[in-house]
Amino acid sequence: MRIARELSWLPASAGRLVIAVLVLTLAAADAAAQSALERVRASGRIRIGIDATYPPFGMAEGGEFKGFDVDIGRAIAAQLRVQPELINASFDGVFPALQSGNFDVVISAVTITPERSATLLFSDPYIATGQQVVVRSASTIAGPDDLAGRTVGVQINTTAQFSMEKRPGIAIAKYNTIDLALLDLQNGRVDAVASDGPVLRYMMRNSFPGLKAVGVEYTDEKFGVVLARGSDDLRRAVNAALWALQESGEHGRIYRKWFGDPATPSSAETTAAPFDPTIVARTWRLFLRGVWMTAAMAASSLILCLPLGLALALARVQANRLLSSPAAIYIEVMRGTPLLVQILFVYFVLPTVGVNLPAYASGILALTLNASAYVSETIRAGILSIDAGQMEAARALGMNYRQAMRRVILPQTFRRVVPPLTNEGIALLKDSSLVSVIGLTELARTGQELASRYAAPLTIWPLVALLYLALTFPLTRVAEYLERRWRPVTRA
């Protein structure tokens, strides 16, 4: 099962390092004066963190959650007589968010391991599962012991990867999501794919005909509900709820709904081929929501970062060190640290000093703070590129510094920095995909969810690319318009 699932565009080690640093930071800050169970009962809701890109355990289409873990979470909430509040987050982000009190529990196909038990609390297991191997229908591979000398696809940083690494003579190909591994198996680039049994069965049933599972589940793994340290009373309540679900047969009904006989699928899940264009017709509303989220995040940040960037640039060109030095330091820090870390910092670390912003505001804040550093340097370069004679001419006419800046220097600067600022705007728009790490379902995250959900990366990702292109297009048009309008001025 998964240990840590990374954002697909990040190197795995960077992501894990970030998490490690954040967890250490957060471990220092211990919040709860109220016990976890008291908090849940008093608020009348239980906040459940889930990475909903992992069918059949967790899936999301826009705001609607489905899957085994989702049903288990809802059943537990019903037992506790509180409302379930499901919160989507990247697997990278769920543990820090749990530690900082953004969730009460995480139910997200998390394997109980000794390493995790050292820093987190686990409930009793709610499902037992194991790794399995799938191959193409015509393959002669009969099980996990036939894999020597073969290439095996796995999802990166999963227990499947680690178990394969322990077996000699196997070449391992690592993928960010399991649907990509299965796609490559279909394409013949790998000989087998190893992953979690229920996930593989679900994927094959829905989207990957021509593959077969071989051999038995060769590992034994148990998933548990995860709680922050100190939530012992809530853990007791969750365990009692799980027992009650077993006793009443509710757990069995949920299990059969998701993992029952493939011949009679009780879930109303749709089936789709990997290249199915009808997926577009079925998912366009969700894409629209993703496009809207991306556009709103990028536009808000862009509008906010321009005045901030201008202020920083103006501060930095001052001779007075009291003004220029803080701006220089700010820019150095913001440009020298990864945007991902800044987003995680705003969302997870600021709450420990009492600044608790919702995800949307945190995303915009982090993007704005980051982009303003780049924008300010672009504007500063523009200011410095204006001939010194312009300032002298303005001053010689009796204008003071502010008047000269406002009426003479900055209007010329803006004309010059339109092309590089357009670059910044486009970069900002694409960088906004990183806010998915704090659970915002923007365009790239929508693509990731739907690619897993429909196991159709070849339909979904080109569509995502086209939509990004469509979003950047208006920006470049505005820039072209401004350049055309100002051409008589810039022509020497």
Partner 1 sequence: MIEVVDVSKRYGTASVLNHASFTIAEGQLTTILGPSGCGKSTMLRCLNRLERFEDGEIRVGDVVMNGTSAGASSRSAENDLMHRVRQRVGLVFQNFNLFPHLTALGNVIEAPITVKRLPRSQAEDIGRLYLNLVGLSGREHDYPARLSGGQQQRVAIARALAMEPDVVLFDEPTSALDPRLIGEVASLLRLLDELKKTLIVVTHDLDFAEAISDQVIYFEGGRAVESGSARAVFGQPSQAETRAFMNGFRSRQGTERP
Q: Is 360 in the site for partner 1 (CB under 8 A)?
A: no
Q: Kindly list the strands in the beta sheet with 58-61, ordered across the sheet, starting from the edge strand earlier in the chain.
A: 53-54, 58-61, 64-66
Is residue 256 a contact point for partner 1 (CB under 8 A)?
no
Residue number, 272 or 391, with CB nearest to partner 1: 391
**Interface with partner 1, residue 397, by CB under 8 A:** yes
**Binding of partner 1 by 399 (CB under 8 A):** yes
| Count of chain residues binding partner 1 (CB under 8 A) | 24
Task: Give the interface segment with partner 1, choosing from 72-80, 130-138, 331-339, 409-417 (CB under 8 A).
Answer: 409-417
Contact region with partner 1 (CB under 8 A), list: 90-98, 112-120, 351-359, 384-392: 384-392
Contact between 485 and partner 1 by CB under 8 A: the answer reads: no
Q: How far is the CB of 415 from partner 1 (least distance, A)?
A: 6
Between 33 and 319, name the residue whose CB sits nearer to partner 1. 319
27, 128, 465, 489: which one binds partner 1 (CB under 8 A): 489
Give the one residue of 167, 174, 253, 395 binding partner 1; rule: CB under 8 A: 395
Using CB under 8 A as the binding rule, whether residue 262 contacts partner 1 is answered as: no
| Residue 354 vs 488, nearer CB to partner 1 | 488
Neighbour count for residue 69 (Cβ, 10 Å): 30
Q: Residue 328 or residue 386: which is nearer to partner 1 going by CB? A: 386
- Residue of 81, 166, 321, 491 that binds partner 1 (CB under 8 A): 491
x/- site string to partner 1, residues 11 to 50, per CB under 8 A?
Answer: ----------------------------------------
Closest separation in Å from C-beta 491 to partner 1: 5
Residues 387, 458, 462, 466: which binds partner 1 (CB under 8 A)?
387
384 is a contact residue toward partner 1 (CB under 8 A):
no
Provide, rounded to whole angstroms, the least separation between the CB of residue 403 and partner 1: 5
Which stretches of the chain bind partner 1, using CB under 8 A? 387, 389-390, 392-400, 403, 407-408, 411-412, 415, 486, 488-492
